Chains A and B, each alone.
Chain A
Amino acid sequence: MLVLLGVLLLAQAFTGYLLWRARSSAGGETGSADGVLSALRRLADGDLTATANSSSPATAVIAEELNAAVARQRELVADLRAPFEGLATELHRLGNSSRVHSETSADMGRQLEEVKSALSREAPTAEDLSGVSQQAQEAMGRHRQLVARGQTLATDMARASSDVRESMQETSKSAKRQGELIQSVTTAAEYIQSLNTRISVVAINTRIEAERAGEHGRPFLGIAEAIGDLLREAEGEGRKITSEVRMLQNLSAENLNSLEHTVGAVVTILDFVERIDAALEDLGHGAARLLEQVDSLGNTTLQSAEAVRRLNGILGEVREQNRVLREGAEASQQSMANLKQTLSTLGRNLARLRVDNASGDAGSALNV
């Protein structure tokens, strides 16, 4: 930039020198050199669009030379402005890109903050889940112990029921034997009753014969009375025995029936116990599988919590790098702003050199 200014100053000085030489050599030809002087004045003001005109032969050559020099200066200025304009355009584009990058970086920073806060919220949840998983493991352990205890109880119950069934079967056999004995007693009671009937017949026949014998049969009457008394006692006892044996028979039948029902109930209980045992076994298997899944879930939860912690650390690093990147982008934007300011100054300085007849350089890229 300084070199460019130096070149421009040298060109300005050379132009002034040529103007001074023309004045000193022309002298009285003032009237014919007005066009040249006017052009020189405009050139001094930086208007490179000025054209020197002269009707005098002495100054015509100067005017032509001046016009040629000015044309070359215009070309030189235009050539100088072109790369700067490209530079300003690229700088503007670069500034826009840097601003977009900076905004993107800021958005990314905000998103990283949100992700970090979300991860911060998730981390306790994962830890809570891990704690819940641990509690579930403990509960499942207790559940398995209870199931094992239930299986032990079911086994004991099955054994006890089996013992009860065997005992019931023995009792049933005993009851059947008791029924047989009762039947035997019943047969004996029937026989006693039959004997009583026979004795009754004997007593009646004795009485008949005694009455038939008249006075001689009186002793037989006493015998018949005695037999009758004995018979009544025997009949009373026989009826009592028969009644009690019948009650005993009914009770035995009821007991036998009850025993059969009890054996059936015990068999049903055994069936139920076996079903309960099978259900407890299935429950134990299910609890074991559930415990494995809870273990797996706990491990996964722990790994997830660890991953969340690592991700949180990585996000912190990314956020730090993003912050550094954003600061670099801001510094770059500041540098570009400074560069734009410098280019704007250069543009304003170059704009003082008019190279065409346009009113200004409003469309120039250097006007930033």
Chain B
Amino acid sequence: MSQAFSALSDLQSRYAHAAVALPAAVVEEPTWRGASIGIAGVPLVMAHRDMETIIALPPLTRIPGTRNWVLGVAAYQGGLLPILCGDTLFGERLAPGRRREYCLVVRQPGFHVGLTLSHVHGNIALPLAQRTANMPLAGLFADCCDGGFWQGERFLGLLDCTLLTASGALADTSASPAAPVEDSLLRVKPSCSFCWGCCC
């Protein structure tokens, strides 16, 4: 009995010595995933769940009597989609570069609009450790961003459409005497060939 026990014990130790160790568990750093975009030349990130889609800027029908950041309405998936100028709305200026090519479609309860983008970088994954609530942003960007991420020297504001809705910036689209109505698209001028709309 004891021999059998010792033989088993030897066998156990031999197999324990020759056995391959279990792989170490890799601790993945928690990341945040979203899309990297830009509005009025300001780099932003946005969660995929807040985005309906990104489309090429469709042909527009202008709406008289609206503010200058309302570019018009476009036909989209059998309906009408209001298109807003991100440069004029956020940057409070006309589009500095070439005519914007893409717009972000956002659907919130009672809120379905397209917002022109100055650039589209693609999907991005950022460490959650880099997220911060201190934003070097101002104006409507500061109102609509829920913190952001530092990527090197660059700050990426986390755009939250609920905050945009809550800010009330889109509450009144009627033209005011102080702000001219039209021409946000007409006044754009051609830029250099390599410009993303942020350097000119």
Interchain residue pairs A-B with the least CB separation, the first 3: A200-B122, A204-B35, A228-B123
**Is A197 a contact partner of B101 (Cβ separation < 8 A)?**
yes
Contacts of B154 in A (CB 8 A): none
Closest CB-CB distance, A244 to chain B, in whole Å? 12
CA distance A170 to B122 in the complex (A): 46
B173 within 8 A of A: no
Given A201-B54, A201-B102: A224 and B123 interface contact (C-beta under 8 Å)? yes
Interface 9-residue window, one of A13-21, A127-135, A205-213, A272-280: A205-213
Known: A201-B102, A208-B53. A232 touches B48 (CB 8 A): no
Contact digits for B21-54, partner A, Cβ 8 Å, 1 yes 0 no? 0000000000001010000000000001101111
Given the complex of chains A and B, what is the CA–CA distance between A102 and B119 in angstroms?
131
- Chain A, interface size category, equals 20 to 34
Which residues on the B side are within 8 Å of A197 (C-beta)?
101-102, 119-120
B194 proximal to A (CB < 8 A)? yes
Is there contact, CB below 8 Å, between A207 and B101? no
- Chain B nearest CB: distance from A301 CB in Å? 82
Taken together as a complex, chains A and B put the C-alpha atoms of A74 and B39 apart, in Å, by 170
Inter-chain contacts of B119 with A (CB < 8 A): 197
Interface string of A197-223 (1 = CB under 8 A from B): 101110111011001000000000000
- Measured CB to CB, the nearest residue on chain A to B123 is A228
**Cross-chain contact B48 with A204 (CB below 8 angstroms):** yes
Question: Do the beta carbons of B51 and A208 come within 8 Å of each other?
Answer: yes
Shortest A252–chain B CB gap in Å is 15
Binding site for B on A (CB under 8 A): 186-187, 190, 194, 197, 199-201, 203-205, 207-208, 211, 224-225, 228, 231-232, 235, 242, 246
Chain B nearest Cβ from A337, distance in angstroms: 130
**Given A197-B102, A211-B48, A228-B122, are A204 and B194 neighbors across the interface (CB < 8 Å)?**
no
Residues from chain B with a CB closer than 8 A to the CB of A224 are: 123
Chain A residues closer than 8 Å to B51, beta-carbon distance: 204, 208
Given A205-B53, A211-B49, A200 and B194 touching (CB < 8 A)?
no
Does B193 lie at the interface of the complex (its beta carbon under 8 Å from any beta carbon of A)?
yes
List 5 A-B pairs, Cβ < 8 Å: A204-B48, A204-B54, A205-B53, A207-B123, A208-B53
Instruction: Please state if A203 and B122 are interface contacts (CB–CB under 8 Å).
Output: yes
**B193–A203 CB distance below 8 A:** no
Interface centre among A186, A190, A207, A225 (most CB of B within 10 A): A207
CB distance from B47 to the nearest CB of A (A): 9
Residues of A within 8 A of B48 (CB): 204, 207-208, 211
Known: A197-B102, A211-B49. A204 touches B193 (CB 8 A): no
Question: Is there a chain A Cβ closer than 8 Å to B121's Cβ?
Answer: yes
A64 to B121, CA, bound (A): 186
Query: A190 touching B193 by the CB < 8 A rule?
Result: yes
A262 to B166, CA, bound (A): 65
* B53, A232: Cβ atoms closer than 8 Å: no
A208, B50: Cα distance in complex, Å? 9
User: How far is B121's CA from A331's CA once the two chains are assembled, in angstroms?
Assistant: 141
Q: How far is the CB of A205 from chain B (nearest CB, A)?
A: 5
Q: Is the CB of A204 within 8 A of B49?
A: no
Q: Kindly report which residue of chain A lies nearest to residue B104, judged by CB atoms.
A: A204
Instruction: A203 to B123: give the CA distance in the assembly, Å.
Output: 7
A232 to B123 alpha-carbon distance, docked (Å): 10
| C-alpha gap A235/B120 in the complex (Å) | 12
> Which residues of A sit under 8 angstroms from B122, Cβ to Cβ?
199-200, 203-204, 228, 231-232, 235
Question: CB-nearest residue of chain B relative to A231?
Answer: B122
B126 to chain A minimum Cβ distance, whole angstroms, is 13
Task: Report the separation of the CA atoms of residues A203 and B194 in the bound assembly, to the nearest whole angstrom.
Answer: 22
Q: Report the minimum CB–CB distance from B100 to chain A (whole Å).
A: 11
A204–B123 contact, CB under 8 A? Answer: yes
Contact with A along B82-120 (1 / 0, CB 8 A): 000000000000000000011000000000000000011
Residues of B within 8 A of A205 (CB): 53-54
| B152 vs chain A, min Cβ distance (A) | 16
Bound: A120/B155 CA distance, A? 110
Report chain B residues within 8 Å CB of A225.
123
- Mask, B116-152, CB within 8 Å of A = 1, is 0001111100000000000000000000000000000
Chain B: CB-nearest residue to A198: B56
- B194 touching A207 by the CB < 8 A rule? no
How near does chain B come to A181, taking the closest CB pair, in angstroms?
Answer: 15
B38 to chain A, nearest CB (A): 11
CA distance A187 to B52 in the complex (A): 32
Known: A204-B48, A205-B54, A208-B52. Is A190-B121 also a contact (CB below 8 A)?
no
Q: How far is the CA of A224 from the CA of B125 in the complex (A)?
A: 13
| Chain B residues within 8 Å of A194, by CB | 101
A-chain residues with CB within 8 Å of residue B49 when the two chains form the complex? 211
What's the Cα separation between A205 and B52 when bound, in Å?
8
Cα distance, A228 to B122, chains bound together (Å): 7
CB of A236, distance to nearest CB on chain B (Å): 12
B47-70 interface mask toward A, CB cutoff 8 Å, 1 = contact, 0 = none? 011011111100000000000000
**Which of B56, B121, B122 has most chain A Cβ within 10 Å?**
B122
- B194–A246 touching, CB < 8 Å: yes
For residue A249, which residue of chain B has the nearest CB? B193
